[in-house]
Structure 1
Amino acid sequence: MSVFSNSSLFPPPIPAKIQTCKTIKDLQQLHAQKIKTGRIRDPFAAAQILQFYALSDHPNLQSAHLVFTHMEEPNCYSYNTIIRAFSDSNQPLEAIIIYHQMLHDRFVKPNQYTFPSVLKACSREIRIEEGKQIHCQIIKHGLNLDDFVLSNLIRMYVICGVMDDAQRLFKGSVQSKNIFGGIDKSGEGIIVIWNVMIDGYIRIGEFESARKLFDEMPQRSVVSWNGMIAAYAQNGLFKEALEVFCEMQTSDLHPNYVTLVSVLPAISRLGALDLGEWVHKYVEKNMIKVDEVLGSALIDMYSKCGSIDKALQVFDCLPHRNVVTWNAIIGGLAMHGRADDALDHFFRMEQAGVAPSDVTFISVLSVCSHAGLVDEGRSHFKNMVRVNGLRPRVEHYGCMVDLFGRAGLLKEAEELVLNTPMKPDDVIWKALLSACRLHGDTEMGERVARRLMDLAPHDSGSYVLLSNLYASLGNWEDVAKVRLMMKEMDIRKDPGCSLIAIDGMIHEFLVQDESHPRAKEIHSMLEEMAVRLRSTGYMPDTTQVLLNIDEEEKESALYYHSEKIAIAFGLISTNPSATLQVVKNLRVCADCHSSIKLISKIYDRRIILRDRNRFHHFEKGSCSCMDYW
């Protein structure tokens, strides 16, 4: 019988006794019996034992390798099995070594099932030279037009960072498909090749090239859409992620579990509640299982889109909860300033036997900070170490510095920074500098600012905070010095930006923004808001304008903060009972906070504002933060 017959290429029928094996231990007993009776020399039996050891849910590669090395004449199927097993393991180099042995075995030759595994091993080990040699062997064996082999070959070049060779292979494959009859019937092979190439551009951060290729695809799979959505979402391009998701809904393909888990973080960051609710309804309508991952994503979405009550509903309906789902709801409650509820859920988490993680304590300490619960914060910080055995990270020290700073305990905050076991990062120093500005401590503020500028000389945050500290005290000379320093170093402040979603569309506004198509109507509403605010006795807090200009100019500047523009647009674009939800990239200023409280009363509107630190729920002239933020 020829050693190249079909029986050597495909798995032999599974013997009845091997089918009864449920565990590696069962197989070991059968294996011992085969050795004792000498039937291990049967190539079919040996191949099946090898397969069980190598490719089971809990593989035993050491035993698999022993079986393989004792096979008298391993066929192509056996070689492919052991190569695949090692390529998927933490020893991918072993797959390349066995492939080299295969090349020197005169009784076998590699086939279309060999090359994908050995190419994967090259990718995982970043062995580009070996990969190129295997490329030559693929051509030699006439498999360079096989879609499965070709997609793995392109992926190898992509992962190894050799995009020029990947691009040449891709173009050649597209041309060959066009020459030999266009896209194949199923389209699956060529779609995979396009997906691999798009992933390559995403890996190196060339999103425009990836999107161009995506738009040119003759056919797309759900994987194609998911890859593009996830790439945008994971790299902070949230609007682009939503655009692709909305475009997908007009295609013939439907979102799946992976699509939803990928797009929900983008919806969360933009506060697009309408779209988030659509996703939740889609999940329910299509009976998609809400596990811990999807459940956590939905909780996070509702929390960050301002609907904490719906987040609680999702949490309460989850059949199973793990540390991630508990963290999601505790973090959401903390973000909304619901200190009692957050700490209650933390207690329930411990009662349920779920051990809190370091992420849990970030949320717990954060809620203590925003609620001014200094003693509780101290207690949880100590218990984190003594009771839970967790080592505090720099983020936990940052929360404690913020907790002390907000409460006016500046000396205690500075001592904690100076005595942290790790080097304080810029976030900790910024928390302390922000507290110095809040409480008007110029001496400490200058000291902290110098530390920050040494640590992150090109980060605008430290310069802006110091400038604002000087400005709040009317020290315009030092404000000018800081601004000049920023100009000389080409350091630019992040502009204030606010988002509001109306009918599923995201509208973005900057300070004094007049670029919107409805700018005239927005301006009229801003003027109306100013008149009605003054009629209540409101006086603009011009100390929040940190520029050396006259009072009239300061008052005018306050009216055109981005969150007020977004609210004005919301008032003219929604029905009188609709809740307005605004997302701002910076901390809301005191004047905007005071005026939005009054606007919620004047217009009888519920306004939810998410700033850089937390949520503010404005209703009937008051805010959920109780003016402590």
Structure 2
Amino acid sequence: MIISGTIKDTFAASRLLSSPALVEPSYARLIFSQISSPNLFIWNTLIKKLVENGMDSMSPPPLLVYKQMLKTSVRPNSHTFMYLIKALQAQLDLYLHEGEAIHSNVVKFGCDSSQFVSSALLGFYVACGFVDRARRVFDKISEPGLVLWTAMMRAYVCANVSEEALRLFGEMRQLGFMPDPVTLATIVSACGQLGNLDTAKVIHGFITKSGVEVDAFVSSGLLGMYGDCGSLEFTYNLFCEMSAKNVVIWNTMIHQCAKNGNMDLAYQLFKMMPDADIVSWNTMIGGLAHAGRCKEALALFNEMELYGVKPNRLTLSITLSACAGLGALDTGTWIHAYIEKNSLNSDGSLDPGLIDMYAKCGSIDKALQVFEKTTRTDLFSWTSIICGLAMHGHAKQAIHYFSQMLEAGVQPDDVTLVGILNACAHSGFLDQGWQYFLSMEKVHSLTPKLEHYGCMVDLLGRMGYLKEAYSLIRGMPMEPNEVIWGTLLSACRVHNNVELGELAAQRLLQLDPTDPYIRVMLSNIYAEASRWDGVMRIRKELKERGLRKEPGCSSIEVNGVVYEFLVGDSLHAQQIEIHSMLDKLEIMLKIGCH
């Protein structure tokens, strides 16, 4: 076409430029340069190509092409602005100012009457976090259609302002608009976000009476709405009433069971499911792990292979977390080998989970090996290794890696600071602990939470500064919980401080009068101080209230099988051999002491 001169024909050039086969931006630009007088269609096609197929070093950005177009006699239309707004949304951090300029041009060239352009502008401002500007765009439209009403409601839902979304839905209904399935799904999300069961019932009643066809997307949204409102009963009843249930609806119901803590019902539904997919398996394994039922989570993971279901990265991430919770090192190591064999960690996204698993399973050296080899030293990887080292009492190494993280320009988050404060607490680094605690607001712009105060109370308590720990608790901007007072009580037990121990125990009993641990700890403090009257009083209270301390539980993995033991447990098939070995170890320890 170039040799024959056909390329100069506007129609022929536009056909070539708009061809789906033309995906190279630089080549599209070359064809465009051969056209002497490009019309609006050709300008729009070039901008569209640059937006959809990306840009290379040889091609100008879409906004620059637009500015070049304005220097000609060609004027933009709604299609031009749709493409430009799409380009802006790809790099929000760079183009907010440009977005405002494009918005001005939309008004200038009379394209603000286009519902689709206005909807795109709404989406742009919401993505930038400016829902108020999005509302101003909406309010300036004389007669917004259903698309714009829905877009604005969706904007409020995305900004977590569900009350405004519901208020806007009421205004829309007063004007006589009937929602479509997309609008219904949006308003159902708003109800779930609000968490008000009465409002959810009203919206559900409206949907039932409206006559609007309820698709699977809206149906799953209704299940999620009731679940988010904390009513698993309504969720399950609605699920049972649904005649047609696809895999999305089944997965939503199982997810809501897991979210609301009913894993038994979740498992029952999972087994009844006609066609479980990878999402179903991940939901079940993740739900069991989150509920502390890590042994069952690992058993279900092993069951996947029998059903021919291949795990994806999310499955492996969840299962690594279950291994960490159970201390199943052999299973975790096997998963690591599986990941390597199938090249499932090319981007390093599973490294934080591997580091966490190895650290919590007692293999900190292996955790360090994974960290040193990782190709992705992001916040999650740094935090995992710092928390792992802290857990193993390697405070100096944890502090070293924390310093390296800051030097690498990675800013810590709340979890990272919990890890470094724990490291200081376990090793008695009082001055450094205070320094890190005070730096949270001054240096890292992080507001200390309960967990951070808990670490500092633990650090002060371990070092014997009980009065300072109590002063810190009294000065907390939030109400101290059981963990805070329990940490102080434990420190009082170690340092035999009866006065503060009684105070901490009193506060704990106000929070949970049925916890036997509190009275047992206070009894031990009295015994250390030879306050036998206090010991007798506590024992009498325990007996009268029928309170018993929960037996401790430990687990060990042998040849890939995890065994759990309770204090006083005599159910294990090899209990005689186990106790015999324990007796031998006790004798050896006594001999070693002498």
TM-score (norm 2): 0.72
C-alpha spacing 1:152/1:471, structure 2 compared with 1 (3 Å): same
Measure, in 2, the Cα distance between the counterparts of 1:125 and 1:51. Answer: 24
2:207 is aligned with 1:116 = no
1:157 pairs with 226, 229, 234, which one?
226
Measure, in 1, the Cα distance between the counterparts of 2:462 and 2:199. Answer: 59
1:517 pairs with 573, 579, 587, which one?
573
1:492 pairs with 511, 533, 548, which one?
548
Shift of the alpha carbon at 1:479? 4.4
**2:3 match:** none
Letter in 1 for 2:358: Y
* Residue aligned with 1:343, SS: helix
Task: Give per-residue Cα distances to partners, 1:358-398, cap 9 Å, x unaligned.
Answer: 54444334334433445655665566677667666565555
2:82 is aligned with 1:18 = yes
Measure, in 2, the Cα distance between the counterparts of 1:166 and 1:430. Answer: 38
| Contact 2:223 2:252 survives alignment (8 Å) | yes
**1:5 match:** none
**2:508 match:** 456
Shift of the alpha carbon at 1:326? 2.5
**2:36 match:** none
Letter in 1 for 2:327: G
C-alpha spacing 1:228/1:31, structure 2 compared with 1 (3 Å): same
Which sits farther off after the overlay, 447-456 or 378-387? Answer: 378-387
Measure, in 2, the Cα distance between the counterparts of 1:224 and 1:192. Answer: 9
Task: Give per-residue Cα distances to partners, 1:292-327, cap 9 Å, x unaligned.
Answer: 874333222111111111211222233343444323
* Residue aligned with 1:507, SS: strand
Shift of the alpha carbon at 1:470? 5.5
Shift of the alpha carbon at 1:515? 0.5
**1:88 match:** 158
Which sits farther off after the overlay, 506-515 or 286-295? Answer: 286-295
2:368 pairs with 277, 288, 312, which one?
312
C-alpha spacing 1:358/1:124, structure 2 compared with 1 (3 Å): closer
2:470 is aligned with 1:417 = yes
C-alpha spacing 1:424/1:156, structure 2 compared with 1 (3 Å): closer
Measure, in 2, the Cα distance between the counterparts of 1:217 and 1:288. Answer: 28
Measure, in 1, the Cα distance between the counterparts of 2:394 and 2:485. Answer: 26
1:49 pairs with 117, 139, 143, which one?
117
Shift of the alpha carbon at 1:217? 1.6
Pairing of 1:345-494 with structure 2 (within 5 A): 345-357=401-413, 359-373=415-429, 376-377=432-433, 395-396=451-452, 398-400=454-456, 402-403=458-459, 405-406=461-462, 410=464, 412-418=465-471, 420=473, 421-422=475-476, 426-427=482-483, 430-435=486-491, 437-438=493-494, 441=496, 444=497, 446-457=498-509, 458=513, 459-469=515-525, 479-494=535-550
* Residue aligned with 2:306, SS: coil
Shift of the alpha carbon at 1:138? 3.6
| Contact 2:162 2:193 survives alignment (8 Å) | yes
Letter in 2 for 1:520: I
| Contact 1:291 1:318 survives alignment (8 Å) | no
2:336 is aligned with 1:280 = yes
Shift of the alpha carbon at 1:168? 3.2
Pairing of 1:253-332 with structure 2 (within 5 A): 253-289=309-345, 294-332=350-388
Letter in 1 for 2:222: L
2:406 is aligned with 1:338 = no
Measure, in 1, the Cα distance between the counterparts of 2:140 and 2:492. Answer: 73
Task: Give per-residue Cα distances to partners, 1:466-523, cap 9 Å, x unaligned.
Answer: 4345666888776454333222233322323221012322101123422012223323
Root-mean-square deviation over aligned CA pairs: 3.7
Measure, in 2, the Cα distance between the counterparts of 1:49 and 1:68. Answer: 11
C-alpha spacing 1:53/1:474, structure 2 compared with 1 (3 Å): same
Letter in 1 for 2:191: C
**1:614 match:** none
C-alpha spacing 1:419/1:336, structure 2 compared with 1 (3 Å): closer
Task: Give per-residue Cα distances to partners, 1:280-300, cap 9 Å, x unaligned.
Answer: 333334434576874333222
Task: Give per-residue Cα distances to partners, 1:104-146, cap 9 Å, x unaligned.
Answer: 556x643333321122223223465554454455445545552
| Contact 2:454 2:484 survives alignment (8 Å) | yes
Task: Give per-residue Cα distances to partners, 1:434-485, cap 9 Å, x unaligned.
Answer: 455445x4xx2x3233113211123333333343456668887764543332
C-alpha spacing 1:497/1:93, structure 2 compared with 1 (3 Å): closer
Which structure has greater helix proportion?
Answer: 2
Task: Give per-residue Cα distances to partners, 1:44-98, cap 9 Å, x unaligned.
Answer: xx13212311334437655655555555665544444344333333333444344
Measure, in 1, the Cα distance between the counterparts of 2:147 and 2:445. Answer: 50
* Residue aligned with 2:564, SS: strand
2:239 is aligned with 1:170 = yes
2:297 is aligned with 1:241 = yes
TM-score (norm 1): 0.69
| Contact 2:485 2:505 survives alignment (8 Å) | no
C-alpha spacing 1:386/1:168, structure 2 compared with 1 (3 Å): closer
| Contact 1:194 1:217 survives alignment (8 Å) | yes
**1:621 match:** none
**1:592 match:** none
Q: Which runs of 5+ in 1 are unaligned?
A: 1-12, 178-188, 540-629
Q: Which runs of 5+ in 2 are unaligned?
A: 1-76, 89-95
Letter in 1 for 2:542: M
Measure, in 2, the Cα distance between the counterparts of 1:59 and 1:162. Answer: 31
Measure, in 2, the Cα distance between the counterparts of 1:162 and 1:126. Answer: 10
* Residue aligned with 2:186, SS: helix
Measure, in 1, the Cα distance between the counterparts of 2:80 and 2:313. Answer: 37
Pairing of 1:536-547 with structure 2 (within 5 A): 536-538=591-593
Letter in 2 for 1:91: V
C-alpha spacing 1:133/1:325, structure 2 compared with 1 (3 Å): same
C-alpha spacing 1:495/1:113, structure 2 compared with 1 (3 Å): same
| Contact 1:365 1:400 survives alignment (8 Å) | yes
| Contact 2:257 2:265 survives alignment (8 Å) | yes
Q: Which has the higher contact order (CA 8 A, sep 6+)?
A: 1
C-alpha spacing 1:311/1:15, structure 2 compared with 1 (3 Å): same
Pairing of 1:66-145 with structure 2 (within 5 A): 68=138, 74-103=144-173, 109-126=178-195, 128=197, 131-140=200-209, 142-143=211-212
| Contact 1:18 1:30 survives alignment (8 Å) | no
**2:217 match:** 148
| Contact 2:78 2:111 survives alignment (8 Å) | no
Pairing of 1:177-192 with structure 2 (within 5 A): 177=244, 190-192=246-248
Letter in 2 for 1:414: K
Shift of the alpha carbon at 1:35? 4.1
* Residue aligned with 1:456, SS: helix
Measure, in 1, the Cα distance between the counterparts of 2:168 and 2:485. Answer: 54
